[in-house]
Structure 1
Amino acid sequence: MTVDSRLRRLLDRGFYAVELPPPFRTERFSVVRNSLTPRNGYSGATTFFDGATFRGHLRRFGVINPINYLLLSRHISQNWKDIVATNRLSSSSGARPKFPKLAAEGRAIETVSLASKRTAQRHLASSYPVILSLDINRFYGSIYTHAIPWAVLGKKEAKRQFANNTLNTHWSAQLDRFCRNCNQRQTIGIPIGPDTSRIISEMILARIDSEICANKTGVSSNQMFHNIDDYQFGVMDMGEAENAEAQFVRVLTRYELQLNDFKTEVSQGIEFSPSYFQREFDILRKQSERAFVEHFFEILYKEINSRPSVNVVGYALKRFAKALAKNEEQDLVREHLQRLLYAQPHQARWVFPLLLGIWQRQPVNSDVRRLLAWGVTTTARRNDVGSLLWFLYAAIFLRVSLGKKVCSAAVGISNELVDLVLLHGRAEGCFSLNMQVIRARYRPLSLTSAAWLPIYEAERKGWDGSPAFTKIGSPKDPGALYADLAANDVQFYVTDRRYFQVEAFDGWGLRETDFDPELARGFFADFLDDFDFYGEDENYE
Structure 2
Amino acid sequence: MDRTERLLERGYFPSQLPPCFKTKDLAAIHGALYASWLTLQQAPKKGAKIPKAPDSKGERFSVARAGYQRRLTSIPNPVAQTYLATHVVANWPQLLGHYRQSKLSASRPRFLRNGERGANIPSMQLLYERKVLRAAGYRFMLKTDISRFFPTIYTHSVPWALHGKAAAKRNRAPTAKYYGNLLDLSLRQCQDGQTMGLPIGPDTSHVIAEAIATSVDLELRRRLRGYPAGFRYVDDFFLFFSTMEEAEAGLAALTRALQEFELHINVEKTITCSVLEISDDYWPHQLRSFTIGKDGRKQLTDIHHFFELAKDLARKNTDENVMAYALKRASAVIIRKDNWPVFEAHLCHVVLAYPNTLQNFARILSTYADVGYRIDKERLERLVNSILEEHAPLEHHSEVAWCLWICKKLVLTLSAANVDRVSDMHSSICALILLDLDASGRLPKPPRMTYWKSVETTASLHDDLWLLSYEAGVRRWGGFSDVHVVADPHFNLLAILGVRFYDENGELTPIFQAKPRALQQTGLGLVSDLFDLADVDEYVTYMDGYGGYEGGIFFDDDDEDDEPHEENHDEDEPYF
**TM (normalized to structure 2)?**
0.82
1:459-491 deviation per Cα after TM superposition (whole angstroms, max 9, x unaligned)? 222313435x642111xx2xx221211222212
1:144-179 deviation per Cα after TM superposition (whole angstroms, max 9, x unaligned)? 1111111111223222334xx787962111111111
Q: Give 1:521's aligned residue.
A: 533
Q: Give 1:230's aligned residue.
A: 236
The 1:183–1:272 alpha-carbon spacing in structure 2 relative to 1, beyond 3 Å, is same
The aligned runs of 1:255-334 (5 Å cut-off) are 255-275=261-281, 277-280=283-286, 281-284=288-291, 288-326=298-336, 328-334=338-344
1:44 aligns with 2:56: yes
Residue 449 of structure 2: which of 427, 435, 451 is its match?
A: 435
1:368-424 deviation per Cα after TM superposition (whole angstroms, max 9, x unaligned)? 111101111222244321222111111111222223321232233322322222222
- Is contact 2:66–2:354 with CA below 8 Å preserved after alignment? no
Q: Give 2:431's aligned residue.
A: 419
Secondary structure of the residue aligned to 1:456 is helix
Q: In the aligned structure 2, how far is the partner of 1:533 from the partner of 1:448?
A: 44
Deviation at 1:518, TM superposition (A): 4.8
Q: Give 1:30's aligned residue.
A: 27
Q: Give 1:254's aligned residue.
A: 260
Q: Give 1:137's aligned residue.
A: 147
Q: Give 2:358's aligned residue.
A: 348
The 1:157–1:340 alpha-carbon spacing in structure 2 relative to 1, beyond 3 Å, is same
Q: Give 2:207's aligned residue.
A: 199
Cα root mean square deviation, aligned? 3.0
Q: In the aligned structure 2, how far is the partner of 1:531 from the partner of 1:75?
A: 35
- Is contact 2:141–2:239 with CA below 8 Å preserved after alignment? yes
- Give me the identity figure in percent: 25
The 1:193–1:402 alpha-carbon spacing in structure 2 relative to 1, beyond 3 Å, is same
Secondary structure of the residue aligned to 1:59 is strand
Q: Give 2:71's aligned residue.
A: 59
The 1:68–1:308 alpha-carbon spacing in structure 2 relative to 1, beyond 3 Å, is same
The 1:213–1:107 alpha-carbon spacing in structure 2 relative to 1, beyond 3 Å, is same
Secondary structure of the residue aligned to 1:471 is helix
Q: In the aligned structure 2, how far is the partner of 1:222 from the partner of 1:130?
A: 12
1:178-226 deviation per Cα after TM superposition (whole angstroms, max 9, x unaligned)? 1111112211111111111111111011001111122x427x5352322
**Number of residues of Structure 1 aligned to a counterpart in Structure 2:** 517
Q: Give 1:494's aligned residue.
A: 503
The aligned runs of 1:384-533 (5 Å cut-off) are 384-431=396-443, 432=445, 433-440=447-454, 442=456, 445-466=459-480, 470-474=483-487, 477=488, 480-496=489-505, 499-500=506-507, 504-505=508-509, 508-509=511-512, 516=528, 518-523=530-535, 533=548
- Is contact 1:72–1:179 with CA below 8 Å preserved after alignment? yes
Residue 12 of structure 1: which of 2, 9, 14 is its match?
A: 9
Q: Give 1:112's aligned residue.
A: 122
Q: Which runs of 5+ in 2 are unaligned?
A: 42-51, 519-525, 555-576
**TM (normalized to structure 1)?**
0.87
Deviation at 1:318, TM superposition (A): 2.4
1:26-66 deviation per Cα after TM superposition (whole angstroms, max 9, x unaligned)? 12213322222224432222112221223431111101111
Q: In the aligned structure 2, how far is the partner of 1:105 from the partner of 1:511?
A: 24
- The letter of the residue matching 2:285 is R
Q: Give 2:181's aligned residue.
A: 173
1:210 aligns with 2:218: yes
Q: In the aligned structure 1, how far is the partner of 2:329 from the partner of 2:472?
A: 37
- Is contact 1:401–1:429 with CA below 8 Å preserved after alignment? no
Q: In the aligned structure 1, how far is the partner of 2:184 from the partner of 2:546?
A: 47
Q: In the aligned structure 2, how far is the partner of 1:135 from the partner of 1:306?
A: 23
Q: Which runs of 5+ in 1 are unaligned?
A: none
- Is contact 1:140–1:201 with CA below 8 Å preserved after alignment? yes
The 1:198–1:151 alpha-carbon spacing in structure 2 relative to 1, beyond 3 Å, is same
- The letter of the residue matching 2:404 is L
Secondary structure of the residue aligned to 1:134 is strand
- Is contact 1:25–1:493 with CA below 8 Å preserved after alignment? yes
Deviation at 1:329, TM superposition (A): 0.9
Q: In the aligned structure 2, how far is the partner of 1:207 from the partner of 1:133?
A: 19
Deviation at 1:99, TM superposition (A): 0.4
Deviation at 1:117, TM superposition (A): 2.2
Secondary structure of the residue aligned to 2:61 is strand
The 1:430–1:511 alpha-carbon spacing in structure 2 relative to 1, beyond 3 Å, is farther
- Is contact 1:330–1:358 with CA below 8 Å preserved after alignment? no
Residue 159 of structure 1: which of 169, 174, 199 is its match?
A: 169
- Is contact 1:377–1:410 with CA below 8 Å preserved after alignment? no
Deviation at 1:510, TM superposition (A): 5.2
Q: In the aligned structure 2, how far is the partner of 1:16 from the partner of 1:166?
A: 27
1:536 aligns with 2:548: no
More off after superposition, 203-212 vs 487-496: 487-496
Q: In the aligned structure 1, how far is the partner of 2:105 from the partner of 2:504?
A: 39
Q: In the aligned structure 1, how far is the partner of 2:151 from the partner of 2:78?
A: 20
- Is contact 1:94–1:117 with CA below 8 Å preserved after alignment? no
- The letter of the residue matching 2:402 is W
Deviation at 1:359, TM superposition (A): 5.8
Q: Give 1:239's aligned residue.
A: 245
More off after superposition, 451-460 vs 435-444: 435-444
The 1:454–1:127 alpha-carbon spacing in structure 2 relative to 1, beyond 3 Å, is farther
Q: In the aligned structure 2, how far is the partner of 1:523 from the partner of 1:111?
A: 37
Deviation at 1:314, TM superposition (A): 3.1
